[in-house]
Structure 1
Amino acid sequence: MTSILGTTRRSVCLFIAGSALALSAAHAQDTFPSKPITMIVGWATGGSADNVSRLIAQHMSTALGQPVLVDNRAGAGSNIASELVAKSKPDGYTIMLATPASHGYNSALYSSLKFRPMEDFSPIGMISTSPGTMLVPVDSPYKTLRDLIAAAKAAPGKLNYGSAGVGSSQHLAGALFNKMAGVDIAHIPFKGSGPAMTEMMAGRLDVIITTGPLPFVQSGKVRPLAIASHQRHPAMPTVPTFEEAGLKGYITDNWYGLVAPANTPRPVLDALNAALVKSLASPDVQKAFVEQGAFPAKAMKPDEFWAYVRKGMPEMAEQVRAAGAKMD
């Protein structure tokens, strides 16, 4: 009898302890966030990815009631940032700005990665989409896309294009342009699109194909030649699409989203998604994206965003193959 009572007491104690732990965990999720959140960005300050992350971090901070701090970890086409976040604690306090590089191009561009794009992350949601725009210095002799292509064909390897680094969307956009236009324009990688744009505005780069071009266009130091979308952008109505300018089929529709480490609790992901959706609904955010040459994404639940990413990965891998780009 004593043994039975002892066993019963132990079982009750274990039940109470387990219930307390479960309640504690549930309470922790219910009160998320209770401290600042770090948003890791795999690109340097001053570029389009950095601008997007800081805009959305500011508004998510308000929605969540806790600071969302941007931490730039540039390098290796955002692989450094991706590896860091993939190995972070899955509690929602470390999240990452995802791009077609981290969740598309890099899987085909690099022979091996120290993270798995789908398995090592949990989805939060889509932020925006942004087509690439071809820019040249304002005093460039090339007034149209046809001018640039003609000059590149006349002197293979003489012209150059800049990018935010090897494996960046600008790198892949330039490589694909070379292939589709039948030209040889040399690639010059930088540590972020900010430094690349600085060189562009100084006239030391011939061309770049980048997202978020409007602030640079408005500075009066660069000239847009064409936009890689199906239709013209409302903020740049006089800029033709590549198809209109003479290069059919050239489309580069980039996107930005948010992810967290794999196994982040679903209530935490839902809280982050709700803050993101609320931020995207802000007229100020929508206006800022359009002014940058981007489009705010429609509201997506985490699973919808992950389905979008998964569907696009084979297409981006094909772009890498078509461009003939490869990194070890």
Structure 2
Amino acid sequence: MTDRILPFTRRRLLAAVAAATLVPSSAVFAQAYPAKPVRWIVPYPAGGGSDFLARTVGAQLEKQLGQPLVIENRPGAATMIGAEAVARSTADGYTVLSGDNGTFVFNTALYKKVPYDPVKDFAPIGLMARFPLIVVANPATGFKTMRELVDAAKKDPGKLSYASVGAGSPHHLAMELIKDRTGAFIVHIPYRGAAPAVQDVLGNQLPVMVIDTAVGLQHIRSGKLVPLGVLSRQRLAALPNVPTLEEQGIRDTEVYAWQGMVVPAATPRDISAKLTAELSRAIATPEVTRKLQEFGLEPIQGNSEQMAGYIKSETARWHALIKQRKLTLD
């Protein structure tokens, strides 16, 4: 009876071995990954802070992965053009996306139709950096503190306007949060990008705006813009004399413009895990950390689970505010 079973068992064993050599496991794929250039879609214009972040981190990732990371700028529609392109791309680890609060949190509350689901269509790789935000004013306004700005806005509701780098941006929502916490009414004037918004505040066409450190530090240090307060939990090392909004009596106003990397949801887990490890290692590299900090960014290290948890908590916070203030961009 044993003699009859053995030949059959050997045939099955040989067939299984042959099949294993023909169909590599995901672990084998991950070990060989990447075998070709990786496309990194940045849904923002070239030359800005988001582009700088991707190119700085990407240059280090190239060294670690041994393959080029090709930065492709796909701006437009509040990052939705670039995000949709990645959501619909092949889930093989060769297309990644960097997005921000707008991409993963704000858009689904501000727009009725968003061509992707930030939770179902993407797998988080990890957070990369955050941009501290500052409320600034043109020196001609005479504002020196947040209290002076709020008092002026309350004295004559609707007279003051503020610029933002774009409707639905973290900068826009940060000022809406300030308005909610203080009861002040300041009219929103959205721009398409930081450059034109900053230019009009520098020229005193508009009196105030929320600006990030990457764009704003140079103008603050030159005296062309007056910092009224920072939206961080603690004072910024770059601006130690500028108080937080919390210090000035405006509670629960910690806001950052943060950025993270994702891949299409169906990307093999081994490949996603490798990207998470390499991204964290790249950001921790002293040269990368130095460049980001000099540009005004705060590097963030973390894994995919931490990014997913952060998106969840941010969504609960901001969707409630957007609904309460009846904000819509449709």
After TM superposition, the score normalised by the length of structure 2 is 0.85
Is 1:283–2:273 an aligned residue pair? no
Given candidates 237, 240, 243, the residue that maps to 2:243 is: 240
Q: Deviations over 1:263-288 (max 9, x none)?
A: 11122212222221112112233233
**Identity in percent:** 34
Q: Match of 2:320?
A: 318
1:77 equivalent in alignment to 2:78: yes
* Residues 124 and 257 in structure 1, CA contact (< 8 A), matched pair in contact too: yes
Aligned ranges 1:211-290 → 2 under 5 Å: 211-212=212-213, 213-290=216-293
- Residue 124 (structure 1) shift: 0.7
Report the CA distance between 1:293 and its aligned residue.
4.0
SS at match of 2:125: strand
Runs (4+) of structure 1 moved beyond 6 Å? 10-14
Greater CA drift, 191-200 or 239-248: 191-200
Matches within 5 A, 1:1-328: 18-23=19-24, 27-212=28-213, 213-297=216-300, 299-328=301-330
Question: Does the CA-based 8 Å contact 1:35-1:66 persist in structure 2?
Answer: yes
SS in 2 for 1:62: helix
Structure 2 stretches lacking a partner, 5+ long: 1-8
Given residue 329 of structure 2, which amino acid in structure 1 is its aligned partner? M
After superposition, the Cα gap between the structure-2 partners of 1:80 and 1:185, relative to the gap in structure 1 and judged at 3 Å, is: same
- 1:18-70 per-residue CA deviation (whole Å, 9 max, x = no partner) reads 43442286554322223322222222334433332232222222222222233
Cα distance in 2 between the residues matched to 1:204 and 1:50: 28
Partner of 1:280: helix, strand, or coil?
helix
Aligned residues, how many? 321
Q: Contact conserved, 2:26 with 2:270, CA < 8 A, in 1?
A: no
Q: Distance in 2 between matches of 1:14 and 1:171?
A: 62
Q: Which SS does the other structure have where 1:58 is aligned?
A: helix
Query: What SS is found at the alignment partner of 2:24?
Result: helix
SS for the counterpart of 2:61 is helix
CA change 1:95–1:224 in 2 (3 A) is: same
Residues 300-320 of structure 1, C-alpha deviations (whole Å, 9 max, x = no match): 222332233223321221232
Change (3 A) 1:194 1:89: farther
Distance in 1 between the 2:106 and 2:133 partners? Answer: 15
Distance 2:277 2:172 in 1: 33
